Structure 1
Amino acid sequence: MMTGAALVAVSLLAVTGCSSTSEAAGGEEAAGGLQIDVPDVPMQEELGDYEGEVNIVAWSGFVEPAWSDAFTEETGCVVNRRVAGTSDEMVQLMRSGDYDLVSASGDASLRLIAGGDVAPLNLDLIPNFGDDIVEGMKGQVYDTINGKSYGVPIGRGANILQYNSEVVTEEPTSWDVAWEADSPYAGKVIAYDAPIYIADAAVYLMAHEPELGITNPYALDQTQLDAAIELLQQQNEIVSEYWADPAAQITSFVGGTTVLGTSWEVLRKLTEDEKFKSVLPEEGSTGWSDAWMLAAEAENPNCAYAWMDYTSSPEVNGAIAMNFGMAPANAAFCETSDEAKEHCEYYHATDEEYFDKVWFWTTPIEQCVDGRTDVTCTNFQQWTDAWLSVKS
């Protein structure tokens, strides 16, 4: 999710094969996913006795006593939580060998898979991973490799355009007000602070400079990356500040430093002021989709599988989604109450037409995930190095 300077270069990964893209913005066909060489980590064939505990690295709000205590009572597995603030921190912690599970976002998933840090999942051992899991969160390129699933979906959201309607009096239809040098809101624009934000520039370029040939914002050759960085440097001239901390983003809007820029639906809601509105512009956007991933050498794999199944139930998955502020993965939750239905409508939980316009975070790797084989794409380390030049 929120990611800072990368500590691991995915360029170390040798990649081969090809990928098949779908028409949806999200990327790969669910059946195949991405085809690359990754470490051969075995998949657990059957469940054994519960070990008595499970150690989880998670985003704040994903593992709370309200449901972890009930899980412990049901299984005897005590839940030990470590909250992480960035995707990079999650990758580091999972590589320490001290954790069984992680709630990884797409900008961490491929790094963990490529490093052999997580194991493919036996979905037969997760009964709640069934027909009620929304199709748009199954088999995606960021967590499905060589036909094997490495992630159990938790929730998703779009990186939308938020604005102060008392200043921005007409609803924006394009991201141009946040990117172009002549924006009437120059000096009052806020942007996300992370290398993965390069993909937001690429989404804008896909629509406005089609001659660049970008068809997936996470598959950029060097020329395309250079164009994205040039756009980001242009935006830097009109940006009031960058945000990685959601609280700082809210403060910027409420305090008037910012009137327009990148946000999440939950952040707009947390401002508790009707003048703040949001829109998914015509170009589409980037977004994030989180999934439970199992450590390759988990000390407590049976409790970990039990947790993944437990939190995939409509009630618990919905509780996590409501607590964090995102669309749940289990669509059955939306029918459990009027409050659940309202939540699902606000976050577009089952609106695949909405999410078809969203390109979910995917770790950039040298194999072009758009299917090109005649060029080498830029990797996450190159994106990290390039991002540093944007604000220097």
Structure 2
Amino acid sequence: MHSSSRMVMAALAAGVLTLAGCGGGGDSEGSGSGPGGMAVPKIDKMASLGAGEGTVNVVSWAGYVEDGTTDKAVDWVTGFEKETGCQVNNKVAGTSDEMVALMKTGEYDVVSASGDASLRLIYGGDVAPVNTDLLTNYKDVFEGLKNKTWNSVDGQAYGAPHGRGANLLMYRTDVVKPAPTSWSVVFDPASPYKGKITAYDSPIYIADAALYLMKTKPELNIKNPYALDDTQFQAAVDLLKQQNEVIGEYWSDYTKEVQAFKAGNSVLGTTWQVIANLTKADKAPVEVVLPSEGATGWSDTWMVSAKAKHPNCAYLWMNHIISPEANAGVAEWFGEAPSNKLSCGKTKDPQHCTTFHAEDEAYFDQVWYWTTPLAQCVDGRTDVTCKDYAAWTQAWTTVKG
């Protein structure tokens, strides 16, 4: 990993990341039931692009809006400001909950929402449907990121895809033998690595247990790890409570996971490719695998506020950040697969897209991107009620004890 990634790693040290989201195309009508049984509010999408208003107020994850302040060589903001006249005011958010709260104030125009936030924003009426015809770079976004359950409703896009990654299994090669191929090693109550197993500290991690059960307990009939009825949800929570007995620590701050694996305090657990790269750069003997059951993962969505005071600048920003050059810059700086297929020819490291599987749809076919759990099951079932994100949040506190 480059020193630039090391610097952004330090900037990300407050447990910042809970990612996923993206885009599609269609009409402004919304339907379906969200949190609390709400229908999607009817909000008109932008019909045509006008002149920039001179300012755009952004909420983003650390490392997504770089203007050369962190590193002089890392800047995809200054050129945008000169080209469009839109001055970028960026507010870095530490969590998805903070992003949702900030967007509800109406003071921000655009947000880099995660999949555990995006549907909350859509059903809450906080973001507007996006007219992808006004984003000239949208056509070059990988098809595998458009019109997904976490970033669209009834075929209508609610954002522009940013980047993606899988939640992988990392292990110390000098300790964990044989090399693991299944998530079973992190759920084994008799694990020889008890006390040195780590897991992601977020309610959305319940989906990791659900995915494992989906593959190993077919009688539960789980079709989507984000759509869990009472019985399925209880099975996932019970598995996580069992796993808690072998967990050494949960991580959300990825600098701490790097240090834990380097020191040998953690030898096995969930991770991201960028963390593995940084851990290897610190000379720790680690490898990662996408286990046989598949994995959860994340993809980001740039979404525009329903109350945007600077909607033209918001659209100009969304189009810019998914442009080949800017998207390559962010993907490389942050450590993720870009969403624009043309970005792979623009990265400084010619192997970047290979490392992050950017063009490998067969790889990402095994990834279940983070999606906000709703009471109306996101797998399409209508005969049962599923557990919503509030229930996941409550259950997560009981898992950790």
Distance in 1 separating the partners of 2:60 and 2:227? 27
Does residue 328 of structure 1 match 2:328?
A: no
Does residue 297 of structure 1 match 2:307?
A: yes
Shift of the alpha carbon at 1:41?
Answer: 1.2
**Equivalence for 1:52:** 54
**Equivalence for 1:9:** none
Does residue 149 of structure 1 match 2:157?
A: yes
Distance in 1 separating the partners of 2:57 and 2:311? 10
Shift of the alpha carbon at 1:2?
Answer: 3.1
**Equivalence for 1:16:** none
Q: Which moved more, 1:43-52 or 1:232-241?
A: 43-52
CA contact (8 A) 2:24 2:152 kept: no
Shift of the alpha carbon at 1:336?
Answer: 3.4
**Equivalence for 1:212:** 220
**Equivalence for 1:166:** 174
Aligned ranges 1:62-73 → 2 under 5 Å: 62-65=64-67, 66-73=75-82
Q: Secondary structure, in 3 states, of the residue corresponding to 1:290?
A: strand
The one-letter code sitting in structure 2 at the alignment partner of 1:257 is: N
CA contact (8 A) 2:127 2:304 kept: yes
Q: Secondary structure, in 3 states, of the residue corresponding to 1:225?
A: helix
Which of 123, 128, 132 is matched with 2:132 structurally? 123
Distance in 2 separating the partners of 1:116 and 1:357? 31
Q: How many residues are paired up?
A: 368
Does residue 103 of structure 1 match 2:117?
A: no
Does residue 311 of structure 1 match 2:321?
A: yes
Distance in 1 separating the partners of 2:337 and 2:349? 11
Give structure 1 regions of 4+ aligned residues with deviation exceeding 4 angstroms.
28-32
Q: Which moved more, 1:269-278 or 1:377-386?
A: 269-278
CA contact (8 A) 1:205 1:228 kept: yes
Distance 1:30-1:43 versus aligned 2 partners, 3 A rule: closer
Give CA-to-partner distance per residue, 1:250-291, whole Å, 9 cap, x none: 121112110010000001111113611100000011000001
Which of 217, 225, 229 is matched with 1:221 structurally? 229
CA contact (8 A) 1:318 1:340 kept: no
**Equivalence for 1:288:** 298
Which of 372, 375, 386 is matched with 2:384 structurally? 375
Give CA-to-partner distance per residue, 1:46-65, whole Å, 9 cap, x none: 11221111011101110001
**Equivalence for 1:78:** 87
Q: Secondary structure, in 3 states, of the residue corresponding to 1:120?
A: coil
Distance in 2 separating the partners of 1:151 and 1:29? 8
The one-letter code sitting in structure 2 at the alignment partner of 1:352 is: E
Q: Which moved more, 1:215-224 or 1:252-261?
A: 252-261
Give CA-to-partner distance per residue, 1:11-49, whole Å, 9 cap, x none: xxxxxxxxxxxxxxx9x99889x9513011111111122
Which of 168, 172, 197 is matched with 1:189 structurally? 197
When normalised by structure 2's length, the TM-score is: 0.88
Runs of 5+ consecutive residues of structure 1 not aligned to the other structure: 5-25
Give CA-to-partner distance per residue, 1:163-193, whole Å, 9 cap, x none: 1111113221101111110222111100011
- RMSD across aligned positions (CA): 2.0
CA contact (8 A) 1:173 1:281 kept: yes
Runs of 5+ consecutive residues of structure 2 not aligned to the other structure: 1-15, 33-38, 68-74
Distance in 2 separating the partners of 1:372 and 1:279? 32
**Equivalence for 2:17:** 2
**Equivalence for 1:10:** none
Give CA-to-partner distance per residue, 1:109-153, whole Å, 9 cap, x none: 0000010000000111110111x2111111111011122100100
| Percent identity (aligned) | 54
**Equivalence for 2:288:** 278
Distance in 1 separating the partners of 2:257 and 2:340? 29
Distance in 1 separating the partners of 2:278 and 2:31? 40
Shift of the alpha carbon at 1:3?
Answer: 4.8
Shift of the alpha carbon at 1:82?
Answer: 0.7
CA contact (8 A) 1:176 1:183 kept: no
CA contact (8 A) 1:3 1:195 kept: no
The one-letter code sitting in structure 1 at the alignment partner of 2:159 is: G
Distance in 1 separating the partners of 2:94 and 2:177? 35
CA contact (8 A) 1:31 1:139 kept: no
**Equivalence for 1:261:** 269
Distance 1:30-1:55 versus aligned 2 partners, 3 A rule: closer
CA contact (8 A) 1:174 1:281 kept: yes
Distance 1:208-1:31 versus aligned 2 partners, 3 A rule: farther
